[in-house]
Amino acid sequence: MHTIAYFDSSHDMPEEVITAAGFSPMKIMGDVHASNDPADQYLQKFFCPAARSFLTQALAQSHQWAGIIVAHGCDATNRHYDVWKLHVKTPFLYWFNSPIRNDAVAKRFYIEELKRLIAALQRHYGISISNDSLKNSIAQSNDIKRRLRKLATLRSEKDISNREYFTLVSACMTKPKEECISLLQQAKSDWESRPEFPSHKKRFYLTGSDITYAEWMDLLDECGIRVVRDDLSIGERYFANGFPELEDPLEAIAEYYLTIPRPATKISLDGRIDFIVQSLKQTHIDGVLSQNLKFCEPYAYDAVTVNNELRSHGYKVLHLEREFSPAFDQQVMNRIAAFTEML
């Protein structure tokens, strides 16, 4: 068992510590095709359905994993940790307390939490995690993020479906890192030779709750929308920045995770809006799609302020709520069609 799975409601889990420990990190994505009945034995149905799907996956697959780490993000991560402690069978379950702030105090706190995580892994698995292995993991992550950044820019130039983009980014969070680099190399030669961006499609910015299944990206393509920029965790948040080159790898990891684009689960809202506005200035887009998974409160709270701010900059914004389902929602499609007709 070489996989350590992690529950991360945004991009809070320092995968580099897991790879430096000799394991393959795997983000738990859930399975939108599977019933959530196993998780619903322990959680109310008004709890975030994506998070319930993560628990369903953990209940079914934890025997294949060397351990599980829950990274502090939205409230689902906190509550799940308590439920998983009781019901998910795993030799190693760890709570990584990623801070919600990103100031100097938070950075000191973050570095202490990194040390605690490293100590717990060393103790449990009888291994040693050296500074050199952390630096190698950081270099590998930088390589993957740099490749993803280049590929992501092709979305607004070439005929690359929403599903292809989503599948590639999610593979980088779920497959062994060497395999990811090979997938990225293949995608580069494939995507660069694609036909030009289809003239009948609209270029969109996608924000809101994280999309965890490809069918929702298919729905957007079906509606004539191509996502050419986004601020999702299974998206640009994962690769927008690289790790700084610092002598101390823990400093570099802390600096990276506290300066990446902010999700709604963290302070600050201004930082989140700034990142979106900067992205919108860099790439021509026809509209912004803000979507909220039902019961995902962090993004529901932020959406009004974020969307009003984007509208005040002159952008056309559609906000909608979606179900956790692979089936195409005709009402959602009608709303998108009505919106794109106005553009």
Q: Which is nearer to ligand SF4, 79 or 316 (CB)?
A: 79
Among 296, 303, 306, 332, binds ligand SF4 (CB under 6 A): 296
Q: What strand order describes the sheet that includes 93-96?
A: 24-27, 3-8, 67-71, 93-96
Among 48, 151, 172, 288, binds ligand SF4 (CB under 6 A): 48
Q: Which is nearer to ligand SF4, 191 or 299 (CB)?
A: 299
Site string for ligand SF4, 201-230 (x = CB under 6 A): --------xx--------------------
CB of 130 to ligand SF4, least distance (A): 33
Contact between 9 and ligand SF4 per CB under 6 A: yes
Q: Quote the distance between the C-alpha of residue 5 and its chain's center.
A: 14
CB of 121 to ligand SF4, least distance (A): 24
Phi (first) and psi of residue 207, to 5 degrees = -135, 170
Show contacts with ligand SF4 in window 68-87 (CB under 6 A).
Answer: 74, 76
**44 φψ region: left (φ > 0), alpha (ψ -120 to 50), beta (else):** beta
**Which residues neighbour 207 within 8 Å (Cβ) at sequence distance 6 or greater?**
230, 231, 232, 276, 288, 289, 290, 291, 306
Contact between 293 and ligand SF4 per CB under 6 A: yes
Annotate 224-234 with b (16+ C-beta within 10 A) or e (fewer).
ebbbbbbbbbb
Quick check: 98 and 69 in contact, CB under 8 A? Answer: no
Angle between helices 249-259 and 104-125 (to 10 degrees): 120
Contact between 55 and ligand SF4 per CB under 6 A: no
Q: Which is nearer to ligand SF4, 102 or 142 (CB)?
A: 102
CB of 51 to ligand SF4, least distance (A): 4
The helix (run of H) or strand (run of E) holding residue 319 is strand 317-322
Residues that bind ligand SF4 (CB under 6 A): 9, 48, 50-51, 74, 76, 209-210, 265, 293, 296, 298-299
